[in-house]
A and B are shown apart, each in its own frame.
Chain A
């Protein structure tokens, strides 16, 4: 039986709007499984990014509950939530969102330093991890991301693709349980898009769970599980075998057909 890494029960999120309420997420109940590459798709304004942020504790929820490895964290204090994010969640945003005055290397090591010392870190045996180990792992990641030469450069001094790869390295430095990616290729050209998707796929192949929000069918083709969000509700689901590069085109056709069925 597959293990659930992230889940929600009756998750609701509303925003106040001109005296009324705008219900963005409407009793969403879902489960994200470990080692899966899950993609959430949906039309613009369907609430998919909001769902991602609520699932990751980056945004508050109006009602319902959110669980990480069966542990409800919607009631966590800010301190506990920050520790959970630092150790268990790795974020990749549409923009690279690196801290502008830190070098690529520093952008990667800072969350690595930060994750240690919390109760979540002890579960991973990292409570007393030496700073040197974090640095070594950062260097390995820089090599893996093919940006080792740019490690001492500031974000403003590298290309968008390099910055996004550094952002992925930052997301995995703490060896999180899951990577949460919000349109990670939305701001990249084709070449860089391919590089970033390959990296995410590679990480998933290394048994790391990935939850990605996208409206790009080409990116969605990397998933082995797709969820469709419509008007704040999960209205469809499709599963596929693990990604193989030679099957990419076929997967896109399948997804296209599925989306048509979802009236995308």
Chain B
């Protein structure tokens, strides 16, 4: 009972600290629960959606072959001992025409409604339609990510490129495609009526419409008893059948999950780092609070010991005091995260294309909170070891002496800028009570610098991020549907800008040592700009690989590797390691000569879609040129500009910006709480000094200015440490997060703005909040303070 009585009195007496810790833990809990819920549920929902839709282990989108060849491939696949069944569907591959020249990645698989059991979104875009109507003629269903990618609404027209002019379809509804429906994926599925699909297939097969290609989807299910991983399964299957060499798209469901959830993974990864940082800051604040409370409550603690409280009991009381605040905050955070999760889901669904359950994984969240509380319990107990030093006699006789010692950092008090010098002295004399504010500032500034640079690396519209998926640098990328206009178009470009560089580039899936990898091929391998080690694939027997491919396949520079396409095979030498995040970093590059050697050809086949790349003189308005070319040549040309090759780049950049904004908001709240706690202690400790200062002629305004200046100085010192950390660890942190999406190397320069802005925000917050909180100095009359002693 005595424990409860003292505990209640302590909480009443230190309600400011109690509620501050509660709020800190509440913020940590809301963030953690939200991130865990979104992260766990997105993966769970993705797998459930894949299963519900009926996807197997591997989806192979094959180009239609001769009937015998096709049958042979399918039978070989079925015969593999690890394959349980193969479902076969006929489809058409094509391109969606965008009126906006900016979007170039618009490959689609046209399949009939009902091939997979996709869920249809209702009008709100967040729930499912229970009984969707069948598609009629000229109606299609598109993935919900089209709403963010192309700003489509129900009733809008989708134009599919065709030699017979554009084929226009009306969007009847949006559906959930858990395989490639995310805005971050380059190929999408469009559903249409079976009869219409059959017509398009016939046109494609008869060669009446070369814009469309007939194909077959093989939905391959791995035997449930098979113990092979996806990589082993696909590699062995491919070695036996060569099936992946005939695919337009070939991807396993595990890979699809990775691609689909890139955004949530980036989002969760960064936020989790931030939450760990917040937790660390909370512990630092708690540590400071315990130390200063013990110092200030020395006499009371001594009295409690004198009246019979053991050290153990006192420890229990204080532990419970801190744990209670933390636990209430942590538990309140769980229900409060529900609206946050719903908000994130509303933002995320149109981007990643699947509906994420808002149901909280309560067990996991509770376990996570419990672990955090256990850490706090341990930490508080360790901090309370100082209670041993409290002796009743000393406490009752004199209390803990607050003796100031000279500090080597002390500077003389000068007449000019008296308030500043006094503030500086107060700061150096105050010592450890400002250390906590300094550390918190350092950590927050460090994180904000990293986030600022991450945003800068991503680019305003994601162009920097998109560039990471590129292998060459160019300003314009043009597909000439009519080769005759190429020269005219180039003359047109040169009316506006000088063409400095010109090269051809195309990409396709090839097999690298039996693994299906995306390959970039150019006629000028010197254009591969991001070579990390070795040199470019200058000769026809050389290739470039990424660090991820090198790691996965155990390759290094100088190793020999087999590249194959259908029946064609050739050996190549790894000449260098390069960087490209395409296909999450699993890709490689060849020279055009190398490709021709592989295919045993003298020139490129006509059906290949080869882009002509142009590097223009700096400062030229590429957007205007692209617009002009599109207007001039219409369907004969397809122009895109740098940074538009990766459809999810803008969303990813927006996600990073959103996290940065959130980080600023949380950082400011943390600063407010830190200042509140530190100010309370400092104020209690320095009341007498304020009285003296007032007695000798200082005004409240001057004292408040000194008080706020102290915190400004602390924030500047903390910021300097944060800047050093930021400069040292910025690259490591950003590369670590980007490695999640296949980027192993980022070239960046820390911008001055990315340093100045967080430092300014921190310094301003510290100054402003301490100025506001020091208002109570105004109410203090010197006599009252002095009489207290």
Q: Which of B207-215, B300-308, B410-418 contacts the other chain? A: B410-418
B699 at the interface (CB under 8 A from A): yes
User: In the bound complex, do residue A99 and residue B692 qualify as a contact, i.e. CB atoms below 8 Å apart?
Assistant: yes
| Given A58-B783, A100-B402, A154-B404, A82 and B425 contact (CB-CB distance below 8 Å) | no
| Given A99-B692, A101-B429, A102-B425, A82 and B699 contact (CB-CB distance below 8 Å) | yes
User: In the bound complex, do residue A100 and residue B694 qualify as a contact, i.e. CB atoms below 8 Å apart?
Assistant: no
B3 at the interface (CB under 8 A from A): no
User: In the bound complex, do residue A97 and residue B694 qualify as a contact, i.e. CB atoms below 8 Å apart?
Assistant: no
| Given A95-B789, A113-B418, A83 and B404 contact (CB-CB distance below 8 Å) | no
CA distance A83 to B688 in the complex (A): 20
Chain B interface size band reads: 35 or more
Partner of B695, one of A91, A95, A154: A91
User: In the bound complex, do residue B699 and residue A79 qualify as a contact, i.e. CB atoms below 8 Å apart?
Assistant: yes
| Given A99-B693, A156-B404, A114 and B418 contact (CB-CB distance below 8 Å) | yes
B696 at the interface (CB under 8 A from A): yes
A67 at the interface (CB under 8 A from B): no
Q: Tell me the A123-167 residues at the B interface (CB within 8 Å).
A: 131, 134, 154, 156
CA distance A102 to B706 in the complex (A): 15
Q: Which of A3-11, A103-111, A197-205, A247-255 contacts the other chain? A: A103-111
Partner of B425, one of A49, A101, A156: A101
Partner of A114, one of B688, B698, B784: B698
Q: Which residue of B lies closest to A87 (CB)?
A: B697
CA distance A74 to B387 in the complex (A): 49
User: In the bound complex, do residue A100 and residue B413 qualify as a contact, i.e. CB atoms below 8 Å apart?
Assistant: no
| Given A60-B781, A91-B696, A115-B697, A131 and B415 contact (CB-CB distance below 8 Å) | yes
B701 at the interface (CB under 8 A from A): yes
User: In the bound complex, do residue A97 and residue B406 qualify as a contact, i.e. CB atoms below 8 Å apart?
Assistant: no
B689 at the interface (CB under 8 A from A): yes
Q: Which residues of A contact B699 (CB under 8 A)?
A: 78-79, 82
User: In the bound complex, do residue A85 and residue B415 qualify as a contact, i.e. CB atoms below 8 Å apart?
Assistant: no
Q: Which residues of B contact A109 (CB under 8 A)?
A: 413
Type the 1/0 row for B107-148, where 1 means its CB is closer than 8 Å to any CB of A.
000000000000000000000000000000000000000000
User: In the bound complex, do residue B697 and residue A93 qualify as a contact, i.e. CB atoms below 8 Å apart?
Assistant: no
CA distance A186 to B694 in the complex (A): 22
User: In the bound complex, do residue B786 and residue A93 qualify as a contact, i.e. CB atoms below 8 Å apart?
Assistant: yes
Type the 1/0 row for A81-97, where 1 means its CB is closer than 8 Å to any CB of B.
01111110001010101
CA distance A111 to B416 in the complex (A): 13
A258 at the interface (CB under 8 A from B): no
CA distance A91 to B782 in the complex (A): 12
User: In the bound complex, do residue A100 and residue B695 qualify as a contact, i.e. CB atoms below 8 Å apart?
Assistant: no
User: In the bound complex, do residue B695 and residue A85 qualify as a contact, i.e. CB atoms below 8 Å apart?
Assistant: yes
A243 at the interface (CB under 8 A from B): no
User: In the bound complex, do residue A110 and residue B783 qualify as a contact, i.e. CB atoms below 8 Å apart?
Assistant: no
Q: Tell me the B761-781 residues at the A interface (CB within 8 Å).
A: 778, 781
A73 at the interface (CB under 8 A from B): no
Q: Which residues of A contact B414 (CB under 8 A)?
A: 131
A208 at the interface (CB under 8 A from B): no
Min Cβ gap A63→B in Å is 17
User: In the bound complex, do residue A101 and residue B404 qualify as a contact, i.e. CB atoms below 8 Å apart?
Assistant: yes
Q: Which residues of A contact B405 (CB under 8 A)?
A: 154
Q: Which residues of A contact B787 (CB under 8 A)?
A: 49
Min Cβ gap B312→A in Å is 34
Q: Which residues of A contact B406 (CB under 8 A)?
A: 154
B403 at the interface (CB under 8 A from A): yes
User: In the bound complex, do residue B697 and residue A83 qualify as a contact, i.e. CB atoms below 8 Å apart?
Assistant: yes
| Given A101-B429, A110-B422, A156-B404, A58 and B695 contact (CB-CB distance below 8 Å) | yes
CA distance A102 to B781 in the complex (A): 22
User: In the bound complex, do residue A97 and residue B697 qualify as a contact, i.e. CB atoms below 8 Å apart?
Assistant: no
CA distance A114 to B404 in the complex (A): 24
Partner of B692, one of A79, A98, A134, A174: A98
Q: Which 3 A-B pairs have the closest CB atoms?
A: A86-B697, A101-B429, A131-B415
